[in-house]
Amino acid sequence: MSTFLSSNAELIITLVKIALLLFIVLTVNAYLTWFERKVVAHMQSRWGPHRVGPHGLLQPLADGVKFLFKEDPTPAGVDKFVFYLAPLLALALAMTSIAIIPFGPDPIHVFGHDVYLGIAPPDLNIGILALFAITALGVYGIALAGWSSNSKYPLLGGLRSSAQMISYELALTMSVVGVLLMAGSFNLRDIINAQAHHPELGILGWNVWPQILGFICFFTAAIAETNRAPFDLPEAESELVAGFHTEYASFKFAMFFIAEYTSMITVSCLCSIMFFGGWLSPFPASWTFTHYVPSAILIAFGLWVIWDGIRYETIFGRIILPAAGTAITALGVVFILYPDINTFIQAPFWLVSKIFIFLFVYVWMRGTLPRFRYDQLMAFGWKLLLPVSIVNVVLTSFTILAKMQWGAK
Amino acid sequence: MPAHPILEYLWIIPLLPLLGSATNGLFGAKWPNKIVNWVALGSTGLSFAFALEAVREFFDSGQVLFRKEFFTWIAAGNFRAGFDLQMDQLTVVMMLVVTGVGWLIHIYSTGYMAHEGGYYRFFSYLNLFMFFMLILVLAANYVLLFVGWEGVGLASYLLIGFYFLRKSASDAGKKAFIVNRIGDFGFMLGMFLLFRTFHTLDFNTLFDLKHAAGWQAEPWGQFGTLTIACLLLFMGACGKSAQLPLYVWLPDAMEGPTPVSALIHAATMVTAGVYVVARSHVLFTHSETALVVVAIVGCATAFFAATIGLVQTDIKKVLAYSTVSQLGYMFLACGVGAFSAGIFHLMTHAFFKALLFLAAGSVIHAMGGEQDMQKMGGLSKKIKYTYATMLIATLAITGFPPLAGFFSKDAILLSAFQIPGGHPLYIIGLLTALLTSFYMFRLIFLTFYGKPRYDERKVHVHESPWSMLGPLVVLAVLSIVGGWVAAPALGGGRDYFADFLAPVFGGHESTEVLGEAAAHNLELTLAFVAVSAALAGLGIAYWLYLSRPSKPEELAKSMKGVYTTLLNKYYVDELYAAAIVRPLLWISTNVFWKTVDVGAIDGAVNGVADGLTAVGDGVRHTQSGNTRSYAVWVVIGAIVIIAVVFFWTSAGKPVVGMVR
Amino acid sequence: MVPTNYYIILSAILFGLGVFAFVFKRNIITIFMSIELMLNAVNLAFVAFSRALGKLDGQVFVLFVIVVAAAEAAVGLGIIILIARNRQSLNVERVDLLKL
Amino acid sequence: MTAPLAVFFVLAALAVIGAVNLILQKHPIHSALSLIVVMVALAGLYLLMGAEFVAAVQIIVYGGAIMVLFVLVIMLLNAGIEEHTSISKLAGVPGLLLVAALGGFIAATIARSTDVVQAAQQTGEMSSTKGISNMLFRDFVYPFELTSFLILVAIMGAVLLAQREKS
């Protein structure tokens, strides 16, 4: 047994990591739906879900159960194979793309093995390319779904989405090139480390500032790539009923749903990694006291949850919320007490918080911006984003060349 | 600035007319006649002036042969044909005649052609002719000379067919061209033979070779290289100078405008043959046979043409035949070895024959285009200047002293009389002189005397403008004084013309066989005989056409056979047509066209075409239009390529490509 | 370490299948796909040789092939769309206007 | 049976099956899917050979662009089941024989040239995107520019073909 373990340690660790990541991502997805509904509701001065559990916190669970136990009809005249393949493809690819993301700089030691946060090996030196490859394949899920449903609306939705994704993929790739030039590598870790060249600068050392154009292009294109508002034409309820997944129900629909949210997370990761220094702290390295920012935030949040919980109307809430609050506060306290843990969680904390911010921006946009018209969408992609990103590439390369020529030894 | 600028840049003399021709030919169509005149007259006049200057420099440099190679034109193996010009006494004479007379005729043409279409074209051609003629006379080797030779042929063709809308005109042009080709064929053969024998065609080297190669003078009846070469060259001369049997084109050439007849077919081009014979006298004098042939042909032509001239009624035709006969005289002179006399007659003939033609042109102009003498008469009052000048010319040609013709013809007859066995030639020459004076005065009487035989109400006879009369007067003066350079010879003095040409013809002149005094007496006697013959001709003409106008018809009736024969020019044209033209036509039609061309060539071409069509019909079934079949074809191609590249090996090594 | 000729044989097999499809499929789009298949087979051979010889030229050439394939796909599909519009059929045997 | 060899056989089998499926399937979209499988398998093989960059490009361009175009066109034209005509006689039995012959030729060629390939068994520095880019932008810069021109022309041609003539 132990020999088996030691011989195939790498394999086992990877499997464990995969399982863990799957669990986390799925949970986050579930609560992302809750988060989105809440935020949009508050933006539209509604309550949002608040029946199931305190603050509707158990709503995702209910949704999941509903998805699982709903009837799953297969319309007549669909191409069965493709009809089943499409959602699988979408979900699988979305999940795979997450696997490329590194979540922390330094490994943990488990049974004498270096375990890095993130599934992909740390020296995957075509990281970003691989990511793009996977996202490029992502279009098939939607296109095939639209085609195989053997129905007009889905077909149109599928056509639209595939056209849209092909178009915006160009802008997406081009806008990243600037960052790649500055880092001189495809490896995501290298890209992050390249932003830490001047630890004293902190937030000022990140790629956003020199690559502001690239960032804008990338984020816009990424939203379009994930078919999110205001670029959610493939699933435009008002025009195409529900776009490519009109004919899908229950868990196959859930797969598309999860795939979409997962790709949202992926994009947020990419944004924060490539433009916002990934897991780097926004403060200069010399300010050691900023190490206590995570625990401070946690404690503050925990205390607020407790305070909010004891005044909650339902009994269940009055019990569960303070408990959760105390747990969070305790976590913060633990961080303060054990410095090495504190130092270790710094990186993941910052990365996660950045991802959280970007997810919020996603939701925020959906809440505020109206949907594009199709021709506007195409014109925007081809006539604005692509040229701008190309210009960005040219400018970046010239600057780098200039640096090579004169000074900045 | 070299000592003799024009001699150094001799090429400018022929170049000027060429420029004029090019200018008029290219731009003249748009220009008014005035500008065309300026260009044509300017270019030719300038070249005349330069020619005079060149002559002055030639004399200044002591009359030594001047020769300059300007650039190499053809160089193949040991054959070199350069653009080389040379200048000696003979050239001087020819050049002055060409440029001078040519210029006068240009001036005349401005008046004569004033109302014709294609004015610029006419002058362009005329200048072109001047250019080629000057090349011909200035050339220092046979090749360049041949260029001029062909060039003048071209110009003559163009000008004879000037009124190309008239079929007769274009036919005449073609005839002239073709007949000349026959002669040129011989000329070229002669050149080739010469080059093959002596490996050069430059005049000075060729004629100096006679010392080095030590040519043997070939006696009568021996047909050596020289004789053959000379005869071939003479064949060319016959073509160009309208001698028997190739004279037939010249009378028809009268279809061209009168100034053309004057310049080309009387004064200059037709004398090119004589010039060539004179130029290559070195060869001829080394071949007895050639000389005899030249003499006999010349003599025969002279008499023959004169007889035809007796009965012609077209004024220009008469002059044409007289030209032929006068050319015969020149060849006679060359034949008897009196080259200087021949050239002398050439010069004087240029003067008075040009004058005759121009005057005739003036008459025709006055008559409004009428050329038939039987529809003229009594014009002497109406067009005095023309009459006067033409009379002078007639006296000159018939050889009345002291006009030019007298001296030149006298010199020829003298040398003909003097050579051993030359008496028959002399007799015929004398007879020809009589006939000449007869038909010339017949022309005068028919044209200017007697009652008008034309409808006075229709035709308004008028004197020509001075642009035409001026040249007439000048030429008249020349026809009078032209011969005086040789005058002292009669007085027992020297023949300055012969002396002048002596450096060229050197010792080749027929030497005096008698003593000085005897020669003098003989000369006087012969002169007297010649003049009396001319008078006899005059008398007969007067008796027939003035005193007894009805006589000619009776005469014609009484000896109808002779008359009709003469009228039809001895049926020579018909003879040629029957003997040469028709058979050729038949052969080309039935053999070359119907059999060879249609049968063989077209057959081959069409056969190939039909074969390919058949193949196409077969192959086109592979074009099924079905893409999948094409795909299979692609596969086949791939198989072939692999087979060739990988498996077509010889001795273990691949034939194509360097795989493995 | 996989021997190179395994790759070569694989590419040969793929190429042969591509040729077969090229000849025996009727649908224009499928035929076009079979051409792409052949290109891919050749690419595989290129990369394999590039590894065997330790030179990168093969990979560079593969990149060129891919670019050309992309251009070809763009134009070819445009043509296919036109054919489908004009002939209402994607069967190559129905598109035979070149027949004599 | 080392790990790479196993992976190779898996991927190779995948590729061959995909190719065969491309032929067997009647519907173009299924053929397209099987072709995508082939391409992904090939990308895996490239990775196995250490040609990461080519692998990535293979998937991005072939999988993500070209095949998407194919699928898009199939959807656009709503292509149905391939109708089975056999008008071309040449593409019948003779075609089959010819294709077989071509396969045989290729096999023979490989059989003759394997030893050579075996001989050149040393593997060079492969996993270098840097090396490729150096070659691409130094040695092969003119062909590279040419391809850009080619793409431009292709774009124009595609636009010209696809646009409906205005009436």
Q: What is the pLDDT of residues A348-377, one digit of tens each?
A: 888 999 999 999 998 898 888 888 888 888
Q: Say whether residue B660 is in contact with chain C using an 8 A CB cutoff.
A: no
Note the pLDDT of residue A126: 79
Cβ–Cβ gap C23/B628 under 8 Å: yes
Per-residue pLDDT of B320-375, as tens digits, reads: 999 999 999 899 988 888 888 889 899 999 999 999 999 998 888 888 878 888 88
pLDDT level of residue B518 (50, 70, 90 thresholds): low
Q: ∠ CA B347-B353-B357 to the nearest 5 degrees?
A: 145
Burial of A340 (0-12, 13-18, 19+ CB in 10 A): exposed
* Amino acid at position D125, single letter: E
> Where are chain C's structural domains?
4-90
ipTM of the complex: 0.78
> Where are chain A's structural domains?
72-286+338-405
Residue of B nearest to D102 (CA): B639
Smallest Cβ–Cβ distance between C96 and the set B625, B634, B635 belongs to B625
pLDDT level of residue B275 (50, 70, 90 thresholds): very high
Note the pLDDT of residue B511: 44
pLDDT level of residue B148 (50, 70, 90 thresholds): very high
Give the rounded percent of residues in chain A with a pLDDT score beyond 90: 9
Cα A311 to Cα D117: distance, rounded to the nearest angstrom: 79
What CATH number labels C4-90? 1.10.287.3510
Is pLDDT at B8 greater than 70 in this prediction?
yes
pLDDT level of residue A227 (50, 70, 90 thresholds): confident
Residues 6+ apart with CB under 8 A from D42: C40, C43, C44, D11, D15, D58
Q: Mean pLDDT, to the nearest integer, of B7-19?
A: 88
Q: Say whether residue D147 is in contact with chain C using an 8 A CB cutoff.
A: yes
Cβ–Cβ gap C23/B621 under 8 Å: no
CB A370 within 8 A of CB A236: no
A11-15, B503-507, B563-567: range with lowest mean pLDDT: B503-507
Bridge-based pairing state of the strands B649-650 and B79-87: unpaired
Note the pLDDT of residue A239: 65
Q: Which of A346, A349, A347 is nearest to A105 (CA)?
A: A347
What are the backbone angles phi and psi of residue B401, rounded to the nearest 5°? Answer: -65, 150
Low-confidence stretches of chain C (pLDDT < 70) are 98-100
Note the pLDDT of residue D36: 92
How far is the CA of B130 from the CAs of B11, B70, B154, B164, in angstroms? 13, 20, 12, 21
Q: Mean pLDDT, to the nearest integer, of B440-447?
A: 88
Cβ–Cβ gap D68/A143 under 8 Å: yes
Cα B301 to Cα B558: distance, rounded to the nearest angstrom: 27
What SS3 state is found at B80?
strand
Smallest Cβ–Cβ distance between D87 and the set C8, C70, C93 belongs to C93
- pLDDT, chain B, mean: 85
pLDDT level of residue D34 (50, 70, 90 thresholds): very high
- Partners of B632 on chain C (C-beta within 8 Å) are 23
- Partners of D55 on chain A (C-beta within 8 Å) are 126
Cα B321 to Cα B261: distance, rounded to the nearest angstrom: 12
Smallest Cβ–Cβ distance between C51 and the set D49, D57, D155 belongs to D49
Q: List chains adjacent to chain D, taking adjacency as at least 3 C-beta pairs closer than 8 Å.
A: A, B, C
Cβ–Cβ gap D42/C96 under 8 Å: no
- Partners of C21 on chain D (C-beta within 8 Å) are 19, 22-23
Highest average pLDDT, of A116-120, A245-249, B198-202, comes from B198-202
Q: Mean pLDDT, to the nearest integer, of B21-28?
A: 88
Note the pLDDT of residue B510: 46
Smallest CA–CA distance, residue D56 to chain B, in Å, is: 31
What SS3 state is found at B71?
strand
Give the rounded percent of residues in chain A with a pLDDT score beyond 70: 96
Cα B266 to Cα B358: distance, rounded to the nearest angstrom: 11
pTM score of the predicted model: 0.58
Cβ–Cβ gap D75/A159 under 8 Å: yes
Q: Say whether residue B217 is in contact with chain C using an 8 A CB cutoff.
A: no
Chain C interface test: which of B626, B646, B659 (most C C-beta within 10 Å): B626
Cβ–Cβ gap A147/D27 under 8 Å: no
A278-282, B3-7, B193-197: range with lowest mean pLDDT: B3-7
Is pLDDT at A288 greater than 50 in this prediction?
yes
Q: Which of A219, A216, A227, A215 is nearest to A164 (CA)?
A: A227
Q: Mean pLDDT, to the nearest integer, of B148-175?
A: 89
Number of domains composing chain D: 2
Q: Say whether residue B620 is in contact with chain C using an 8 A CB cutoff.
A: yes
Specify whether D75 is located in the same domain as D13. yes
Is pLDDT at B292 greater than 70 in this prediction?
yes
Q: Mean pLDDT, to the nearest integer, of B597-614?
A: 89
Per-residue pLDDT of D92-143, as tens digits, reads: 888 888 888 888 888 887 777 655 555 445 444 445 778 888 888 888 889 8
Cβ–Cβ gap C81/D73 under 8 Å: yes
CB B397 within 8 A of CB B360: no
Cβ–Cβ gap B626/C22 under 8 Å: no
* Residues B151, B152, B158, B163, Cα dihedral to 10°: 170
CB B132 within 8 A of CB B152: yes
Is pLDDT at D1 greater than 70 in this prediction?
no
What SS3 state is found at A362?
helix
**Percent of chain C that is helix, strand, coil (3-state, to 5):** 80, 0, 15
Which residue is listed with tokens 């009369």? B469
Per-residue pLDDT of A87-99, as tens digits, reads: 999 899 988 888 8
Cβ–Cβ gap C97/B625 under 8 Å: yes
- Partners of C33 on chain B (C-beta within 8 Å) are none
Radius of gyration of chain B (CA): 31
How far is the CA of A224 from the CAs of A160, A233, A275, B206, in angstroms? 12, 9, 18, 100
pLDDT level of residue B149 (50, 70, 90 thresholds): very high
Per-residue pLDDT of B471-506, as tens digits, reads: 889 989 988 888 888 777 766 667 778 878 887 776
Note the pLDDT of residue B514: 46
Joined tokens for residue B399: 């050889």
Q: What is the DSSP letter of B67?
A: E
Note the pLDDT of residue D119: 46
**Last residue of some domain: D79, D95, D110?**
D79
